Chain A
Amino acid sequence: MGVDDVPLDDKAKRMRDLLSSFYSPDPAMSSSNSSKFASLDAINTTSFDADQYMNLLVQKSNLEGLLQKHVEMAAEIKNLDTDLQMLVYENYNKFISATDTIKRMKNNIVGMEANMEQLLEKIMSVQSRSDGVNTSLFEKREHIEKLHRTRNLLRKVQFIYDLPARLGKCIKSEAYADAVRFYTGAMPIFKAYGDSSFQDCKRASEEAMATIIKNLQGKLFSDTESIQARAEAAVLLKQLDFPVDSLKAKLFEKLEQLLQDLQLKREEVTNFLEDSNDTSKTTSTIDASVHEFAEAIKAYRVIFPDSEKQLIKLSQDLITKHFEITEQNIKEQISVAKFLGFLRVIWRDVLLMDEVLNEAFLPDYSLEAAQRVVKQYVAITFSHLLHDISDALIVNIHMKQKEGVEENPLQVALETSKNAVLKGSMDVLVDLRHLVDDNLGLLLKLRDSIVDWIQEGFQEFFRALDDHFLLLSGRNKSVSQAQGLTEGKVVDKVLAGLVLVLAQLSVFIEQTAVPKITEEIATSFSGSGVRGYENGPAFVPGEICRIFRSAGEKFLHHYITMRTQRVSVLLKKRFKAPNWVKHKEPREVHMFVDLLLQELETIGSEVKQVLSQGVLRKHRRSESNGSTASSRSNPLRDDKMSRTNTQRARSQLLETHLAKLFKQKVEIFTKTEFTQESVVTTIVKLCLKSLQEFVRLQTFNRSGFQQIQLDIQFLRAPLKETVEDEAAIDFLLDEVIVGTSERCLDPIPLEPPILDKLIQAKLAKKREQSAISL
């Protein structure tokens, strides 16, 4: 029957489900079931259709199946009936038991009402009794309260009457804090009744308070009292509504006074420092006074806690004054050691003050100031250097030339100024190195900046030097004119020699000084500094070199221009004065030749003093400026030409003309170098070219032409001695003669014998003169 058991259980479960679904019909379930009514299981759903089910069953099953189904179904129906019956029974049972319970409850409730009434009665009696007690005690309590109030009042009155005496006692024992507490306690009463009942009392206590205030003030100002006591006194005074601010101001004045004293002392000390270098003693006195000041500030701060602002200002003033004094001193060119001394003192003071007054950020503040001062110091150092150099130049050239003592003023000037530049710069570097190497806290922080400033300083210095050179050379007219009013010492007439010295000095700076300084800077002042890499280092030797190279060339050019200008004036006078068309027959070599040679001699001596001797050689083609050069000649031909040139000088004019047709052009304007020969050659060339141009502007008669021919012939020998490029000189001299012949109405040259005779006569005369002068 095990087989039967399982469907039976199934049945029971289905039954229960059905029942429960009956009580709580689920629409979802019904809908889901309705969808599959076509199956046999649909029998359990709500939407069961008996006919359909029957049809389905009949269609699907055979007879045996149907019979079985019938039996099955009949059993199920029977079962369902019994289940239903049992359910009804159970329900009925429960209903009966509920009825029983209700009946029992009804019986139990009957006795409760009587108990409640009893309880009410008892509570009522308790209440009435407590009321009785209350009324009997009320009178007594009121009385006691009244008595208590009176007693309090009496005690207060007693206190006020006792106040003067008590204050007196407090004054005696210096218990000012108690006194102030008492007095402030009594204040409201005095305020209310002070004018009537407690008049005497109030007066007496006020008097006592006055003494207390006085005592407190005294205590506040006395330096002997401890800071704590003074602070207390200040607090008490504040509690008494005493005007503390005025006190504060007074005390502050005292501080300022102290500061001024300190300043005075310091100034004395610096003066003293100027006189003797005994620093140990002076620093100790300064130390003491600074300590004192720091202590005072500390006290003040404790006494008036809200006074930082003023104090900060005060201490900053102190630092500022320090730096001002230092700045003043800097202007008088103090040594690095002294400058460092100043900074050290300042820094120590700053540290002292910083301990006391941390909020003032004095280190930062002083750092700023120090930055300024150090920068200024560096700048001033460089300006002194500049001054020294210009002195070296001017003094040596102007003064000594006036005195006429020195043999070679230019050489001396060059050497001293070279020295001034190199040694001065080195000294500056060494000095400033102290600044960088010093381990003073103040400077350590500024180290990178200092390195930058020094580099910048050098850069600026060399720029300024260049400008100054320009000014000295008088080349930039406008600047000298603009500054002429302010700088009265600008020399009106610039000496050509000075310009030459400047030229050589520029070369020296470019080639020697700058590399050395660069090296020195690289070794001791490297470090990227604050500027950062993108800006590069502040000192750019390449730029300086470039500036001075161009300056050197410019000065050299300027020197040549100045010299040739003088010669031009000479030549101009020579050619303006006579009437060349009516010139008389030449008797001797003209004076101007002497003047010209003299001028060249001066140039030669100047050049010799300043410039180095170049390698003797014929000039090279590659140096040609390209201005007039058609470099078609070669050195070999040059030599040949110079030989033919000398011969040609004595030859007839036609030959010269013909020769000119075939002659190669000689380079006249070549690049000038920094050698004696090159400079002299350039000047001679320019002068001869000028001579040619002057000649071209005139018209000559035969005698005039012959005079020029004579003069030029005389010039030929001495000029060739002085220059390195003989060919060019020959060419130019020939050009002058050719130019003259072209401008001559009747160009018949002098016969060579006569020419020789006249020249010999001149030479003899010259020898005679030199013999006399010797």
Chain B
Amino acid sequence: MQGASSGVGYGLKYQARCISDVKADTDHTSFITGTLSLREENEVHLIRLSSGGTELICEGLFSHPNEIWDLSSCPFDQRIFSTVFSTGESYGAAVWQIPELYGQLNSPQLEKIASLDAHSGKINCILWWPSGRNDKLISIDEENLFLWSLDCSKKAAQVQSKESAGMLHYLSGGAWDPHDVNAVAATCESSVQFWDLRTMNKTNSIDCTHVRNVDYDTKKKHILVTAEDESGIHVWDLRMPKVPIKELPGHAHWTWAISCNPEYDGLILSGGTDSTVNLWLASTSTGDGMTSESLVESPTQLVDPLLNSYSDYEDSVYGLAWSSREPWIFASLSYDGRVRHFKHLS
């Protein structure tokens, strides 16, 4: 765990909420992050981990017109990413492209490929097709789910289909199932809803309140992890949506972000408003057998699922991202704009 404690730091100018792994960059371990400042000039930072892994280098710095609430990198083109931004009064979402020759320009401008401007309410997040080249995008606002078809060359995005979740559900986020590209999980006030993109119908739902974040297990089908305000982290098997198969205590305050490791099964990273990042090992392999045991806290369960707790933060941690290139490295972003890279050597 020596590598774990010796994290590498990087400071943003302003507060920030979101960080994303640049999946398409196969040569470097890089992340992209954007600031959240209401009154200042916002920036998008492209950060790369130096080859020795000892330094975080700013690979690109681009100005962004508004404060960024959500940011995700395109899985097939390292120069494309999406943001959800707010002017303070209204929300917008767009897909951007990093300019070709940005190294030579002094203050490079981002090229807007498409504006996802069909929304009316507060936009929560944009989801890219889980892996590989596909033109599908999903954007979620408080009431609606939009499926977009993006044409990079024509620089246009069209709404393919749209479905309203209903006025009172207040969608807050979502995740695209990496095992079944037709399924999307969307979190709302009192449940996690599952949508089938072909029919745009709700297929299933899990009742759990105050879900902040949700992530699919990339290695195992049917496994979903949710982060909840007060009640910590729950691991669900979608075939048995009544009862979680595992419960993790989460954080001293809310658990805000959650991320499953792209390679190692059961390795879960969570970030909380108590200014810590916790690394859990929640093996789901025993499946049903664990259900009862985990709840009765049997002696076999005494093995602490908490592998490590990184507490060297000054403020709440909202952003988390595993590197898909080097899956033992993750980046975390606390509200005060500090990016930290950790190597978890297990």
Main secondary structure of the interface of B (DSSP, over half): loop
Q: Are B311 and A481 in contact (CB under 8 A)?
A: no
Q: Are B86 and A745 in contact (CB under 8 A)?
A: no
A550 to B298, CA, bound (A): 12
A383 to B315, CA, bound (A): 50
A690 to B38, CA, bound (A): 21
Q: Which residue of A lies closest to B245 (CB)?
A: A478
Q: Are B276 and A627 in contact (CB under 8 A)?
A: yes
Q: Are A481 and B296 in contact (CB under 8 A)?
A: no
Q: Are A686 and B296 in contact (CB under 8 A)?
A: no
Q: Which residues of A contact B297 (CB under 8 A)?
A: 550
A564 to B252, CA, bound (A): 12
A568 an interface residue at 8 Å Cβ cutoff?
Answer: yes
Q: Which residues of A contact B229 (CB under 8 A)?
A: 565, 568, 690
A742 to B39, CA, bound (A): 9
Q: Which residues of A contact B309 (CB under 8 A)?
A: 626-627
Q: Which residues of B contact A467 (CB under 8 A)?
A: 296
**A669 and B252 in contact (CB under 8 A), knowing A478-B291, A689-B273, A742-B15?**
yes
**A693 and B273 in contact (CB under 8 A), knowing A477-B243, A625-B252, A745-B39?**
yes
A699 to B335, CA, bound (A): 16
A641 an interface residue at 8 Å Cβ cutoff?
Answer: no
Q: Which residues of A contact B210 (CB under 8 A)?
A: 565, 568
B160 an interface residue at 8 Å Cβ cutoff?
Answer: no
Q: Are A693 and B254 in contact (CB under 8 A)?
A: yes
Q: Which residues of B contact A625 (CB under 8 A)?
A: 252
Q: Are B314 and A665 in contact (CB under 8 A)?
A: yes
A568 to B311, CA, bound (A): 24
Main secondary structure of the interface of A (DSSP, over half): helix
B156 an interface residue at 8 Å Cβ cutoff?
Answer: no
B192 to chain A, nearest CB (A): 15
Q: Are A627 and B251 in contact (CB under 8 A)?
A: yes
Question: Which A residues from 685 to 743 make CB contacts under 8 A with B?
Answer: 686, 689-690, 693, 696, 699, 742-743
A561 an interface residue at 8 Å Cβ cutoff?
Answer: yes
A620 to chain B, nearest CB (A): 17
Which of B230, B313, B335 makes the CB contact (< 8 A) with A561? Answer: B230
**A628 and B276 in contact (CB under 8 A), knowing A696-B335, A699-B88?**
yes
How many interface contacts (CB-CB < 8 Å) are there between A and B?
Answer: 81
Using an 8 Å CB-CB cutoff, how does the interface string of A64-102 with B read, 1 for contact, 0 for none? 000000000000000000000000000000000000000
A650 to chain B, nearest CB (A): 24
Using an 8 Å CB-CB cutoff, how does the interface string of A564-576 with B read, 1 for contact, 0 for none? 1100100000001
Q: Which residue of A lies closest to B234 (CB)?
A: A477
B213 to chain A, nearest CB (A): 13
Q: Which residue of A lies closest to B243 (CB)?
A: A478
A551 to B316, CA, bound (A): 29
Q: Are A581 and B88 in contact (CB under 8 A)?
A: yes
B275 an interface residue at 8 Å Cβ cutoff?
Answer: yes
Q: Which residues of B contact A233 (CB under 8 A)?
A: none
A512 an interface residue at 8 Å Cβ cutoff?
Answer: no
Q: Are A745 and B88 in contact (CB under 8 A)?
A: yes
**A565 and B230 in contact (CB under 8 A), knowing A628-B274, A669-B252, A693-B273?**
yes
Q: Which residues of A contact B230 (CB under 8 A)?
A: 561, 564-565, 568
Q: Are A479 and B15 in contact (CB under 8 A)?
A: no
A581 to B252, CA, bound (A): 31
B299 to chain A, nearest CB (A): 9
A565 to B276, CA, bound (A): 21
Q: Which residues of B contact A669 (CB under 8 A)?
A: 252-253, 274
A476 an interface residue at 8 Å Cβ cutoff?
Answer: yes
A696 to B317, CA, bound (A): 13
A370 an interface residue at 8 Å Cβ cutoff?
Answer: no
B231 an interface residue at 8 Å Cβ cutoff?
Answer: yes
Q: Which residues of B contact A208 (CB under 8 A)?
A: none
Q: Are B38 and A744 in contact (CB under 8 A)?
A: yes
B13 an interface residue at 8 Å Cβ cutoff?
Answer: no
A641 to B282, CA, bound (A): 42
Q: Are B38 and A699 in contact (CB under 8 A)?
A: yes
A123 to B210, CA, bound (A): 143
A668 an interface residue at 8 Å Cβ cutoff?
Answer: yes
Q: Which residues of B contact A693 (CB under 8 A)?
A: 253-254, 273, 316
Q: Which residues of B contact A568 (CB under 8 A)?
A: 210, 229-230
B134 an interface residue at 8 Å Cβ cutoff?
Answer: no
A759 to B143, CA, bound (A): 38
Using an 8 Å CB-CB cutoff, how does the interface string of B243-278 with A read, 1 for contact, 0 for none? 110000001111000000000000000000111100
Using an 8 Å CB-CB cutoff, how does the interface string of B198-232 with A read, 1 for contact, 0 for none? 00000000000010000000000000000001110
Q: Are B316 and A476 in contact (CB under 8 A)?
A: no
A628 to B273, CA, bound (A): 9
Q: Which residues of A contact B276 (CB under 8 A)?
A: 627-628
Q: Which residues of B contact A581 (CB under 8 A)?
A: 88-89
A447 to chain B, nearest CB (A): 31
Q: Which residues of A contact B311 (CB under 8 A)?
A: 626-629
**A699 and B86 in contact (CB under 8 A), knowing A627-B274, A693-B316?**
yes
Q: Which residue of A lies closest to B278 (CB)?
A: A627
Question: Which B residues from 274 to 330 make CB contacts under 8 A with A?
Answer: 274-276, 291-292, 295-297, 309, 311, 313-314, 316
Q: Which residue of A lies closest to B242 (CB)?
A: A481
**A742 and B38 in contact (CB under 8 A), knowing A479-B296, A699-B86, A699-B89?**
yes
Q: Are B39 and A479 in contact (CB under 8 A)?
A: no
Using an 8 Å CB-CB cutoff, how does the interface string of A550-591 with B read, 1 for contact, 0 for none? 100000000001001100100000001000010000000000
Q: Which residue of B lies closest to A564 (CB)?
A: B230
Q: Are B253 and A690 in contact (CB under 8 A)?
A: yes
A742 to B296, CA, bound (A): 45
Q: Which residue of B lies closest to A745 (CB)?
A: B88
Q: Which residues of B contact A476 (CB under 8 A)?
A: 295-296
Q: Which residues of B contact A481 (CB under 8 A)?
A: 242-243
B311 to chain A, nearest CB (A): 6
Q: Are B88 and A628 in contact (CB under 8 A)?
A: no
Q: Which residues of A contact B314 (CB under 8 A)?
A: 665
Q: Which residue of A lies closest to B210 (CB)?
A: A568
A565 to chain B, nearest CB (A): 5
Q: Which residue of B lies closest to A581 (CB)?
A: B89
Q: Which residue of A lies closest to B335 (CB)?
A: A696
A551 to chain B, nearest CB (A): 9
**Interface-central residue, A478, A565, A742, A744, by most chain B CB under 10 Å:** A478
**A628 and B296 in contact (CB under 8 A), knowing A564-B230, A689-B253?**
no
A68 to B48, CA, bound (A): 143
A665 to B311, CA, bound (A): 13
Q: Which residues of A contact B242 (CB under 8 A)?
A: 478, 481
Using an 8 Å CB-CB cutoff, how does the interface string of A616-647 with B read, 1 for contact, 0 for none? 00000000011111000000000000000000
A669 to B231, CA, bound (A): 16
Q: Which residues of B contact A686 (CB under 8 A)?
A: 253
Question: Which A residues from 449 to 497 make CB contacts under 8 A with B?
Answer: 467, 470, 476-479, 481
A745 to B38, CA, bound (A): 7
**Interface-central residue, A476, A481, A576, by most chain B CB under 10 Å:** A476
Q: Ordered nearest first, which 7 A-B pairs have the shortest CB separation?
A: A669-B252, A478-B243, A476-B295, A628-B275, A627-B252, A627-B274, A699-B88
25 pairs from A and B in contact (CB 8 Å cutoff):
A470-B295, A477-B295, A478-B243, A478-B295, A481-B243, A565-B229, A565-B230, A568-B229, A581-B89, A627-B276, A627-B309, A628-B252, A628-B275, A628-B276, A629-B311, A665-B314, A668-B252, A669-B252, A690-B229, A693-B254, A693-B273, A699-B88, A699-B89, A742-B38, A745-B39
B→A interface (CB under 8 Å): 15, 38-39, 86, 88-89, 170, 210, 229-231, 242-244, 251-254, 273-276, 291-292, 295-297, 309, 311, 313-314, 316, 335
A→B interface (CB under 8 Å): 467, 470, 476-479, 481, 550, 561, 564-565, 568, 576, 581, 625-629, 665, 668-669, 686, 689-690, 693, 696, 699, 742-745
Contacts A470-B295, A561-B231, A669-B252 known; list 16 others, CB within 8 Å.
A470-B296, A477-B295, A478-B242, A478-B291, A561-B230, A565-B229, A565-B230, A626-B311, A628-B313, A629-B311, A665-B314, A690-B254, A693-B316, A696-B316, A699-B38, A699-B89
